[in-house]
Structure 1
């Protein structure tokens, strides 16, 4: 079994949002281009979440690093991308849905407490160019592993399960893990090792969430600045408009 997953502190979001962004204007590419090396299943689109897109868009360097992670895996194991760049409206939907569920369960908690609990699993929706939501940058990816039959490996909790068991190192802390728990630990370590060795950082509250290039990545990797700010896939209409504008300059 590979090395233990370290227990990291949750991000200090106020500090994370102050890290400067030196946007490098890297384009977004669809993860599905890597068919055969990566698997792509846009989970929120498949679930019918309003305004979710039918593709997993990622920054070009993120795409290349995902390929590196995928190629490091044992034979028969495939890296699956579940979500990456997402529109602001989808981020707002996810945040509101979890916030409302928590509020119904704990109606006596203050707004600040509800926000803190929600942000454990869903970042605050933001298009602020100085402090965007991580997934809005194209630098965040939600990933898991598939077996040789195309089925997801057992990670102990489901993708997007908002429980303490979803914390990346949760099973590492069991004093006497049984065979099933040891299997989960092995699967999480395999994913963590592949992703971190490819240059990604992990959000400690989510075993599936990894970052590269954005403020969250800069925070956990100890860098002074990020290189990805908010972005969006370029539409055909926008590209044509730019080309027409250039011709008439």
Structure 2
């Protein structure tokens, strides 16, 4: 049952080694665009930030789209789900990881390589096209979301999108005191988003209130599934579509 105000548990960070060992049983679902859906607001955050190679659309697997619609439909009247990022090119993943790791190194000059990787991957996964262990956003199963009102005003969720600090942890505001009305309002908004997304079948990355997964290895780990549904994917190119169509129309002779 969907309980909009159910508290957000303080989950531990995923065991990334175990996540990477979960097999991928690619189901072959295509990517689809979100920006044509009237039920969602789409704001490709990295494109607007000028990140090199960032895409101007948000695309997800077909089943992820259906589950986003389910989550959006469960929100109270006057609130909408905003999608900030979904499928992500490997070049963008590389840029984000490299940039944050360098910032972490400047902030923690005594940290060794393993510590820097641990600190960085709390907020950005290492870039990987490996079909056995791809970066979540490369699969089309990971989405970054927030809330806005019917006029498009973004709700205060307690931290900025992609903020690298303790306020970004999903359960950060669960310990606020009863007299702090502003923090309690943030807590309740996070609960609303979290519970709507989980009721639609997603899992949440505990260090990012905005990050949710369906069908990828991280989702499989959280839900105890024997395999992930999605491996690395990409939107089809025009050349690739033509090649496929020609191959279907003119099969090679035996």
Question: In the TM superposition, what are the counterparts of 1:93-242 in structure 2 within 5 Å?
Answer: 93-176=95-178, 178-242=180-244
Using the TM superposition, give the Cα deviation of residue 175 of structure 1 relative to its aligned residue in structure 2, in angstroms.
Answer: 4.5
Using the TM superposition, give the Cα deviation of residue 245 of structure 1 relative to its aligned residue in structure 2, in angstroms.
Answer: 2.2
Deviation sequence 1:196-215 (CA, Å, 0-9, x none) = 00000000000000000000
1:33 match: secondary structure? coil
Using the TM superposition, give the Cα deviation of residue 174 of structure 1 relative to its aligned residue in structure 2, in angstroms.
Answer: 3.0
Number of aligned residues: 248
Q: Return the alpha-carbon distance in structure 1 between the equivalents of residues 83 and 177 of structure 2.
A: 32
| Equivalent in 19, 28, 37 of residue 16 of structure 1 | 19
Using the TM superposition, give the Cα deviation of residue 48 of structure 1 relative to its aligned residue in structure 2, in angstroms.
Answer: 1.0
Q: Return the alpha-carbon distance in structure 2 between the equivalents of residues 221 and 175 of structure 1.
A: 31
Q: Return the alpha-carbon distance in structure 2 between the equivalents of residues 237 and 162 of structure 1.
A: 39
TM-score, normalised on structure 1? 0.97
**Number of the residue aligned with 1:27:** 30
2:143 match: secondary structure? strand
Quick check: 114-123 or 169-178, which moved more? 169-178
Q: Return the alpha-carbon distance in structure 1 between the equivalents of residues 165 and 178 of structure 2.
A: 21
CA 1:221 to 1:239, structure 2 compared with 1: closer, same or farther past 3 Å? same
Deviation sequence 1:143-170 (CA, Å, 0-9, x none) = 0000122011111000000111100001
1:121 match: secondary structure? coil
- Structure 1, unaligned stretches of length 5 or more? none
1:142 match: secondary structure? strand
Q: Return the alpha-carbon distance in structure 2 between the equivalents of residues 228 and 98 of structure 1.
A: 26
Q: Return the alpha-carbon distance in structure 2 between the equivalents of residues 102 and 21 of structure 1.
A: 31
| Equivalent in 90, 94, 103 of residue 92 of structure 2 | 90
1:218 match: secondary structure? helix
Deviation sequence 1:41-60 (CA, Å, 0-9, x none) = 11101111000110001000
TM-score, normalised on structure 2? 0.95
Quick check: 168-177 or 99-108, which moved more? 168-177
Indicate conservation of the 8 Å contact 2:176/2:184, yes or no. no
1:78 match: secondary structure? strand
Q: Return the alpha-carbon distance in structure 2 between the equivalents of residues 214 and 162 of structure 1.
A: 23
**Number of the residue aligned with 1:69:** 71
Question: In the TM superposition, what are the counterparts of 1:44-83 in structure 2 within 5 Å?
Answer: 44-83=46-85
Quick check: 136-145 or 239-248, which moved more? 239-248
Deviation sequence 1:85-126 (CA, Å, 0-9, x none) = 000010000001100001011111101100100000000100
2:63 match: secondary structure? helix
Q: RMSD over aligned Cα, in angstroms? A: 1.0
- Structure 2, unaligned stretches of length 5 or more? none
